[in-house]
Amino acid sequence: MRRRAPRGSAPGPGGPPAAVTGAARSAGGPPAVVVHRSPPQSRNSDPGAPGRASGAGRAGRSERRRLGGAGRTAPVRRENAAPGRGRPTTVRDVPCPCPQTGLPVSQHVADPPASPVVRPPSLLRDRNFVLLWSGQTVSELGTRIAGVAVPLLAADTLHASVFQVSLLTFLAWLPYLLVSLPAGILADRTDQRKLMILCDLGRAALMLSLPVAALVGQLTLGFLYAVVGLSGVLTVLFTVAYKSMLPALIPAAQLVDGNAKLTMSQDAAELVGPTLSGVLIGLVGAARTFLANGLAFLVSALTLLLIRPGPRAGSATGPSSGPSSGPDPAAPAERVPLRVQMTDGLAFVRRQRILLSILACTTTSNFWVMAASSIEVTFMVRELHASSVQVGVVFSVSAVGGLVVGALAARLSASIGSARVIWVSMATPGPLYLLMPLARPGWGVLLYGIGLAAFSANAVLFNVASTTYRQRITPPAILGRVNAAFLWICFGVIPLGALVGGALGTALGLRTALLVCVLGTWSACLFVVFSPLRRMRDTPEPA
């Protein structure tokens, strides 16, 4: 973090310190005048030590005698007005005119007193953020409801096979590989808020089409595949624009708090959504449950419509966010080939060593986490003999861990350091991960819950800190493409991780395979531990 120069320091590199008169110390007075004098050659004064600033009104009465040298002032001795005040007041001699400004020293004006640091108001008083936060909380809840309803609709209502159900997961994640990079270009070239509104309206229409199709008897597995795939494309577009919009909506100093609150919403939805989905499916059936998901997307679109973003001083995406590297992001789109635009985000990440380390860490972690997720329910049921209720409790415990850390993320980042917390959050919880493969039947199921809660807490803290760093360090003109590059790589490995997890479980057994996945997840911390972040306390603030 940049440190503000101490009060009274030299005006520039290599320049001598200047004494400031007391004439302008009072509030509302004229600017303080910098007075340049040489020390008196007297037995009572030290020629090499700078004296004190003269009292009010003495600058105008100081006498100067020109020397034959290159514009230097002769030594001047001034006695204090009041007797018994000690030796004469002196200051050091400096060249005049000033070599930095070319102005006579009499025209130099001291810097005004530094303004006190004012803490920004709470985000809960920011109307735009509250609208965004509330809308996304409802949207996340609807998404978690659909996450349970989609496979149940396919398995119970449409009688799909295990492989056919797995294709739904594949179609949901495939758009991250196919459209993430083009989505970044679109997010940078269009109004992000309007793009998000259109995506919400499109997803609402798709979700509401499912109960309508069931009502008229036209709901088929192919129709469900189409809805899931198209919804995945709109979700990618929404996510890229969403991550790029936040830095323009709130001040840069509040990005950690803003990201933490939005992450808390995701964990709260993870805690409540699956249970609520099960209740709704039992009451109205799987197809009608999508009415809640469609309504959630409409609420999100309404809150986005009510947001009135405007220029905000100190925002992370202001003009002072820093120059862009590589191709000019502000250049007209027709002048830059589409291939170059699609790779702008990747090129920027490659030039940023810390950002590249974070990307490698996140990608490795996602790969092994998805490998573990693909076998964890089977592990709990077959190895730990857990009931469906116990499985639900385990996942609820993990969500609580994320909620608690999400509420404390801003304070933890401030106390530990915004750079240090990135690698600490990845390295320290590792031993608790080992509780998952070491769990035994009975009360040992709780050990699995503790290990999963530790991972959830780590994920929230790491995601908040790393996302905030990415938003601060990236020029606003290419932030959408950088976010898209992260999504393309980090989420692109998820389908592969699921396949590897299943293969390991088949070849090594569930417990051994889970141990391998846990160790692989913990090993991801090496990318950030052995990076420049380890020698930093805080990440740099925007200029």
Residues forming CATH 1.20.1250.20 domain(s) in the chain = 123-311, 343-543
pLDDT at 178 over 60: yes
Mean pLDDT throughout 40-66?
A: 43
Kindly state the average pLDDT of the residues 377-398.
77
DSSP 218-276: ---HHHHHHHHHHHHHHHHHHHHHHHHHHHHHSBGGGHHHHHHHHHHHHHHHHHHHHHH
For residue 428, give the DSSP letter. Answer: T
- pLDDT tens figures, 507-532: 888 899 999 999 999 999 999 999 88
Query: For position 40, what pLDDT does the model report?
Result: 44
Q: Which residue has the higher pLDDT, 275 or 419?
A: 419
In the structure, what pLDDT confidence band is assigned to residue 23 with cuts at 50, 70 and 90? very low
User: What pLDDT does 30 receive?
Assistant: 39
Q: Residue 299 phi/psi, 5° resolution?
A: -65, -40
Which of 375 and 298 is assigned the larger pLDDT?
A: 298
**Which residue, among 304, 36, 293, 315, has the nearest Cα to 149 in the 3D structure?**
293
Q: What pLDDT is stored for residue 71 in this prediction?
A: 42
Higher-confidence residue of 47 and 535: namely: 535
For domain 343-543, give the CATH number. 1.20.1250.20
Ranked by mean pLDDT, which of 185-194, 199-208, 446-455 comes out on top? 199-208
What is the per-residue pLDDT across 311-357, written as a single tens digit (0 to 9) for each?
543 444 443 333 333 344 444 444 556 566 667 788 888 888 888 99
Ordered DSSP codes for 47-66:
TTS--PPP-TT-GGG----B
pTM beyond 0.85: no
**Range 45-56 burial, b when 16+ CB lie within 10 A, else e:** beeeeebebbbe
pLDDT exceeds cutoff 60 at 21: no
Query: 245: which 2 tokens?
Result: 């919009």
Q: What percent of the chain has pLDDT over 90?
A: 19
Per CATH, is 123-311 categorized as 3.40.50.280?
no
pLDDT surpassing 80 at residue 449: yes
pLDDT at 416: 85
Residue 89's φ and ψ, nearest 5 degrees, are -85, 130
Is the backbone peptide bond immediately before 97 cis, with ω within 30 degrees of 0?
A: yes
CA torsion, points 495, 496, 502, 503, in degrees to nearest 10?
A: 160
Mean pLDDT of 241-264: 81
Tokens representing residue 434 in the block:
């080992």
User: What integer is the mean pLDDT of 67-94?
Assistant: 45
Residue 256 near residue 464, CB atoms below 8 Å: yes
Q: What is the pLDDT of residue 519?
A: 95
- Residue-level pLDDT at 196: 93
What pLDDT band is residue 47 in, cutting at 50, 70 and 90?
Answer: very low
Checking if the pLDDT of 36 tops 80, the result is no
d(CA 32, CA 350): 49
Other Cβ atoms closer than 10 A to 500: 20
3-state secondary structure of 90: coil
Mean pLDDT over 19-36 rounds to 38
User: What is the DSSP annotation of 488-541?
Assistant: HHHTTTHHHHHHHHHHHHHHH-HHHHHHHHHHHHHHTTHHHHTSGGGG-SSPPP
Average pLDDT taken over every residue of the chain? 74
| Dihedral angle over CA of 291, 294, 299, 302, nearest 10 | -130
Does the pLDDT at position 303 exceed 90? yes
Among the listed residues 298, 245, 282, 284, the one whose alpha carbon sits nearest the alpha carbon of residue 138: 298
Q: So what's the pLDDT on residue 25?
A: 37
In this prediction, residue 119 carries a pLDDT of 64
Confidence of residue 120 (pLDDT cuts 50, 70, 90): low
Pick the residue with more confidence: 62 or 268?
268
Q: At residue 284, does pLDDT exceed 50? A: yes
SS (H, E, C) 293-317: HHHHHHHHHHHHHHCCCCCCCCECC
Q: Which residues are within 8 A (CB) of 425 and not within 5 positions of it... i.e. 6 or more apart? A: 458, 461, 462, 465
pLDDT computed for residue 219 by the predictor: 93
Quote the tokens at residue 416. Answer: 């530990």
Rounded to whole angstroms, the Cα distance separating 39 from 91 reads 6
